[in-house]
Structure 1
Amino acid sequence: MSEELKPTIQAIILDMDGVITDSARLHARAWKQMFDAFLEKLPGEQQPPLDLPRDYKRYIDGISRLDGVRAFLQSRNLHLPEGDPDDGPEAESIVGLGKRKNAFFLELMEKEGVDVFPDTLEMLKKWKKEGIKLGVISASRNCRKILESAGLLHWFDVRVDGETARREQLPGKPAPDVFLRAMQELKASPEHTLVVEDAIAGIKAAKRGHFTRVIGVARNGETEELLDAGADQVVKQLTEIDTYMETTSRAQLPDSLPHALESMQQIFSEMNGKKPVLFFDYDGTLTPIVDDPDAAVLTDGNKKVLADLAEEFTVAIISGRGLSDLRSKVGLDQLIYAGSHGFEISGPDGLEMQYEPGQEILPLLDQVEKAVKKRIQSIEGCEVERKKYAIAVHYRKVEKSRVKELKQAVAEVMEGKEQLKLGKGKKIREIKPNLDWHKGHALNWLLDKLDLARKRHQPIFIGDDITDEDALRFLQGTGILVGTHGEETHANYRLNDTEEVYEFLAQLRRWQEPAPK
């Protein structure tokens, strides 16, 4: 990573249960103990007990105590009066059940104590050392008591918990109010604040708050659910989180971005005489997205455009495709190629790099590739593409009714594979090494390796997919999004399709040509 990189994350807001402490385990047991006893006493047909993997995550996790009671009862078509704030835990009301659950929880906490996740403690120390302000949020009214029990209360500059929400009448998750309240007290802004959550409701709440980055923590293999809820990244441990991001731009919806072709004078002005350094994604950027990845080839005319550009500028393609596949598709020796999201790099004048930690994971990728193929072999239309450092599962041709089944199958194969992580893209699920390396790191590595100082050069990155956001977040230059990937972006400008990409490049080259004498 470049020595010039500075952390632009100024504040981090963490959920407590399941992210900082293992109290989520105690909460889940208390909920089950309370509801199982309640359901067993109901007259009529016997209700099944609370199912922790299904019911707890779906109806209770991450929201306030009373909202959890209401949601679970509604899921079973059961009705109770709301009750009165003065109701005791013996009352057959929503308030009473909430207090009954809390009594069970406090008993468990007193008996077993609360542990802190070691990876969280390690990162709290790191972030404090970096001067990052820390906030903790929780739907629990026992937040202070739990943090004190764990010896963590002093680590946090701000605490917004269930007591705060009750006192200030803040709506619970998935409303973003608790996060926004914590951010306000931290005197931060959304574009400089990172949120770490383990609950689906929490991920949705943070996304509604428009924070620059929302991290999901899947300690028990809930990767797919957190990604579907909107997490920008899912990790198994907090030590996988990278807070170094050069860009200070706030994520926006693609439609709100200025159109690059209509903003050429502004883009030229921002360059301020610097020489462009061009970075491209491949699929969806230099070639249109097609059903068959092997059919995504450059036209002779577009290949000539890239060759002509390479005579004037440094040109690199950073793609999820494997390096050998990428080189064969483009076929221009004067370009730099970064394959497998930057894990393998090759270029002119002997430029070569293999990200060494990734090589240790290759045998595991071989095993997972076989397991994935076996699990989804009955699903027509899916394609498993093996790259050296990644496995791409394409489902563009899969019937909509079976896409969920495919995603679930991939997620199940990934369970327990802590050395790997699951990413998403346009009609794709991608399995990659769970390492702190991606397109953004590769881009900055190339700038340093080739001595392309920011004072003299203007990096321009053009991409279209969610994985390109890694480069756009790290970019200190001009970021352009092609089309849309359906989520917010850190790009500065937009283009509609690949045809407009080549029109942009033509205008860029004309701008760089010396005026006739």
Structure 2
Amino acid sequence: MVCQSPVMDVAREKFDAVLFDLDGVVTKTAKMHAASWKRLFDEYLQKRAASGDSSWEPFDSGPDYNNYVDGKPRYEGVRSFLESRGIDLPFGSKDDPPDAETVCGLGNRKNQLLNEHLEKYGVEAYELTLAFLHLLRERGFKTAIVSSSKNCQVVLKAVGIEDLFDTRVDGMVSEQLGLNGKPEADIFLEAARRLKVIPGRAIVLEDAISGVQAGRNGNFGLVVGVDRVGQAEALKSNGADIVVNYMSELTVDGEIPAWEQSIDDLPSALDVMEEIEKQLEAKHPFIALDYDGTLTPIVERPDLAILSEDMRLTISALAKRCTVAVISGRDLPDVQELVGIDGLFFAGSHGFDISGPAERHVDHQQGLEFLPALDSAEKSLRPLLSDIPSAQVERKRFSIAIHYRNVKENREQAVEEAVDQVLVENPRLRKRTGKKIFELQPEIDWHKGKALCRLLEVLEQDDSDILPFYIGDDVTDEDAFRELQAGGIGIVVKDSESPETSRRSSARYALDDCGQVQKFLEELVDMLQRKKR
């Protein structure tokens, strides 16, 4: 599921610390481990089969990995899997060379394969987990990294996140202290001891079956299973109190973690088309687009933002191959007329007013009860701004836009003061800002991100085989970018003429301008044509 509501709140009044597993929870190393284990065991099993000691049956990166090696100390993982195949090898010594036919020799060979992979490809962290970590530490939680891996410190250094943890209990520490590995609770209990917290006031985050078993065995206050591979039921049945797919499903004192980066540091979406094409091999795209600043350049007056014929043709071609929606701050009839393409879905007024084509009827209006408050605010605003040259009040059905792009700089403050005065008189409304615009909207939890999720839900496209995209340029588009951080692709359009390009964004990629947006959409059309063939 792309758009997910929070599963629970991590409240400071209930918990003091959060203990994180490394592989699969903090870093994207679980697949690297699984690949290294598979290569190790496949090579070894093939060698045995060739010598006539056994038949050849490859290591399965799914069940074999999850049941016998995931989360366990390296040598215990070797022993556990070999036992499942009826193979009994001497334990050997931790100093055994990687080609020794012992439990330790095979374990050392696995470590050698993993290090080769790390050196060649590096390692990435889950951005939402890092956002969750930062939020926890801001709220005063203690944090620990708890891993069976002896490579834990090396991986943390490679990612540059050692300072996000107050203590580390890993395979090296376990060996020094003689701690039992998962599913025993020793390493989690040691982490709690070092943090000076009682287990009942600590949370365990684990993606491995042996890890949630360890959390349960240690009587921790909450055991959260992190399901990256579709084993939610197994995690629950083995000790997880709740299971999440992404850290955005957990709030911290009511706040949802969101990953942000400077727009200037975001990679260009045009440079990652091969990566996007690979993601679309097993998925269908859902394309949602902002209008102003995305499909058309920002102009002095809203009525001058006319869609070019080339862009219209590109969107039409795309809409023949996948579902396309336009989500705009403009009124619904206005944006429908400006785009002028049949078969699209539209969300106007920042998503408060949603409609679809006749053959796929979708109608949704949010905030009808706030129309009287908007009427009152508009009535007050117009005389307050009448003596400020070039200030424009644009009434939309579900919002009021106050444009000050052409207002002299020394009068901009007066525009905002007028807006704030009206806001005090109308507490049922809220103020949102954008590029040289203030907007009064109903004071409810609704925005472009909610509208995007509503469209996905109504169209039954909020599923694992859908890859949703959202392309937008303004701060009001950040809500949609945040909704897609877990399982979609947000693309922010820069404005090279504005200092706002240095702002931080929750988007994954960037494009420089509307011209690059059109080129990106054209490449998507070509990509979908190739996929169809």
Q: Structure 1 residues 496, 393: CA separation in 2 closer, same or farther (over 3 Å shift)?
A: same
Partner of 2:141: 185
SS of match in other structure, 1:367: helix
CA distance in 1, matches of 2:258, 2:443: 26
Which of the residues 307, 318, 343 maps onto 1:309?
318
Which of the residues 411, 414, 418 maps onto 2:423?
414
CA distance in 1, matches of 2:330, 2:282: 33
Is 1:506 aligned to residue 522 of structure 2? Answer: yes
Q: Contact 1:480–1:495 at 8 Å: present in 2 too? A: yes
Deviations 1:425-475 (A, max 9, x none): 000000000011111111111111111143211100000000000111111
Summarize the alignment of residues 253-332 of structure 1 with structure 2, pairs less than 5 Å apart: 253-332=262-341
Partner of 1:480: 491
Summarize the alignment of residues 72-471 of structure 1 with structure 2, pairs less than 5 Å apart: 130-134=8-12, 157=16, 182-183=138-139, 185-187=141-143, 250-348=259-357, 349=359, 351-356=361-366, 358-471=367-480
Partner of 2:507: 491
TM-score w.r.t. structure 1 length?
0.55
Deviations 1:314-354 (A, max 9, x none): 00000110001111111112111100111111111252323
SS of match in other structure, 1:370: helix
Query: Over alpha carbons, which structure has the higher Rg?
Result: 2
CA distance in 2, matches of 1:337, 1:441: 14
Deviations 1:224-275 (A, max 9, x none): xxxxxxxxxxxxxxxxx99686xx7620110010011111112223334211
Q: Structure 1 residues 459, 423: CA separation in 2 closer, same or farther (over 3 Å shift)?
A: same
CA distance in 2, matches of 1:311, 1:398: 42
Q: Structure 1 residues 180, 447: CA separation in 2 closer, same or farther (over 3 Å shift)?
A: closer
CA distance in 1, matches of 2:429, 2:532: 55
CA distance in 2, matches of 1:512, 1:377: 51
Q: Contact 1:5–1:244 at 8 Å: present in 2 too? A: no
Q: Structure 1 residues 471, 242: CA separation in 2 closer, same or farther (over 3 Å shift)?
A: farther
Query: Which amino acid counterpart does residue 5 of structure 1 have in structure 2?
Result: Q
Q: Structure 1 residues 184, 272: CA separation in 2 closer, same or farther (over 3 Å shift)?
A: farther
Q: Structure 1 residues 516, 426: CA separation in 2 closer, same or farther (over 3 Å shift)?
A: closer
Query: Which amino acid counterpart does residue 132 of structure 1 have in structure 2?
Result: V
SS of match in other structure, 1:278: strand
RMSD between superposed Cα atoms in Å: 2.9
CA distance in 2, matches of 1:179, 1:515: 41
Query: More deviation in 418-427 or 342-351?
Result: 342-351
Q: Structure 1 residues 505, 384: CA separation in 2 closer, same or farther (over 3 Å shift)?
A: same
Q: Structure 1 residues 254, 3: CA separation in 2 closer, same or farther (over 3 Å shift)?
A: closer
SS of match in other structure, 1:415: helix
Q: Structure 1 residues 405, 242: CA separation in 2 closer, same or farther (over 3 Å shift)?
A: farther
CA distance in 2, matches of 1:516, 1:457: 16
Partner of 1:5: 4
Q: Structure 1 residues 244, 188: CA separation in 2 closer, same or farther (over 3 Å shift)?
A: farther
Q: Contact 1:279–1:459 at 8 Å: present in 2 too? A: yes
Q: Contact 1:157–1:186 at 8 Å: present in 2 too? A: yes
SS of match in other structure, 2:320: helix
CA distance in 1, matches of 2:441, 2:279: 35
CA distance in 2, matches of 1:282, 1:274: 25
- Per-residue deviation at 1:416? 4.1
Query: Which amino acid counterpart does residue 348 of structure 2 have in structure 1?
Result: G
CA distance in 2, matches of 1:271, 1:331: 28
Query: More deviation in 504-513 or 285-294?
Result: 504-513
Deviations 1:175-215 (A, max 9, x none): xxx9886446343999xx9xxxxxxxxxxxxxxxxxxxxxx
CA distance in 2, matches of 1:289, 1:270: 32
- Per-residue deviation at 1:511? 1.1
Q: Structure 1 residues 504, 434: CA separation in 2 closer, same or farther (over 3 Å shift)?
A: same
Query: Which amino acid counterpart does residue 264 of structure 1 have in structure 2?
Result: M
Query: Which amino acid counterpart does residue 441 of structure 1 have in structure 2?
Result: K
CA distance in 2, matches of 1:279, 1:242: 31
Q: Contact 1:318–1:339 at 8 Å: present in 2 too? A: yes
CA distance in 1, matches of 2:479, 2:396: 19
CA distance in 2, matches of 1:301, 1:181: 49
- Per-residue deviation at 1:6? 3.9
Query: Which amino acid counterpart does residue 487 of structure 1 have in structure 2?
Result: R
* Residue ranges of structure 2 left out of the alignment (5+ in a row): 18-133, 146-160, 165-251
Deviations 1:327-386 (A, max 9, x none): 111111211110011111111125232334x11110110110111111111000111111
Q: Contact 1:365–1:390 at 8 Å: present in 2 too? A: yes
CA distance in 2, matches of 1:283, 1:516: 31
Q: Structure 1 residues 243, 312: CA separation in 2 closer, same or farther (over 3 Å shift)?
A: farther
Partner of 1:38: none
- Per-residue deviation at 1:516? 9.8
Q: Contact 1:480–1:492 at 8 Å: present in 2 too? A: yes
TM-score w.r.t. structure 2 length?
0.53
Q: Structure 1 residues 275, 391: CA separation in 2 closer, same or farther (over 3 Å shift)?
A: same
- Per-residue deviation at 1:405? 1.1
SS of match in other structure, 1:514: helix
CA distance in 1, matches of 2:144, 2:306: 46
CA distance in 2, matches of 1:313, 1:366: 39
- Per-residue deviation at 1:306? 1.0
Query: Which amino acid counterpart does residue 491 of structure 1 have in structure 2?
Result: A
Q: Contact 1:481–1:491 at 8 Å: present in 2 too? A: yes
